[in-house]
Amino acid sequence: MTAHPNAEAAPLPASFPFSAIAGQPRLREALLLAAADPALGGVLIEGPRGTAKTTAARALAELLPGAPFVTLPLGASLEHLVGTLDLGQALAGHALKFAPGLLARAHGGVLYVDEINLLPDALIDSLLDAAASGVNAVERDGISHRHAARFVLVGTMNPEEGSLRPQLLDRFGLCVQLRNLEDPAERQAVVRARLAFDSDPEGFRARHAAAEAELAASLRRSRATLADASALPYGDAVHEAVGALCIAAQVDGLRADLVMLRAARALAALEGAEAISEEHVRRVAEAVLLHRRKPGVEATPPAQAPSAPPPSAAEGESAIDDGADTGDGDWGALPAEPVGVARVKPLRPLIPAASLAKKA
Cα torsion 139, 141, 142, 148 to 10°: value is -40
Spatial CA neighbour of 289 closest among 251, 332, 333 = 251
CA distance 76 to 223: 32
- Whether 171 is a known active-site residue: answer no
For the stretch 296-303, contacts whose Cβ atoms lie closer than 8 Å and that sit 24 or more positions apart, written own/partner, are 296/323, 297/248, 297/249, 297/250, 297/323, 298/323, 299/323, 301/244, 301/245, 301/248, 301/249, 303/244, 303/248
Spatial CA neighbour of 143 closest among 192, 111, 96 = 96
Cα torsion 286, 292, 297, 302 to 10°: value is -30
How is residue 231 annotated by DSSP? S
Spatial CA neighbour of 47 closest among 190, 138, 179 = 179
* 333 CB burial (10 A radius; 0-12, 13-18, 19+): exposed
Confirm if 49 and 174 have CB atoms less than 8 A apart.
no
**Centroid of chain to Cα 119:** 14
Burial 257-296 (b: 16+ CB within 10 A, else e): bbbbbbbbbbbbbbeeeeebbbebbebbbbbbbbbbbeee
Choosing from 255, 265, 292, 293, the catalytic residue is 255
CA distance 311 to 331: 23
**Residues taking part in catalysis:** 255
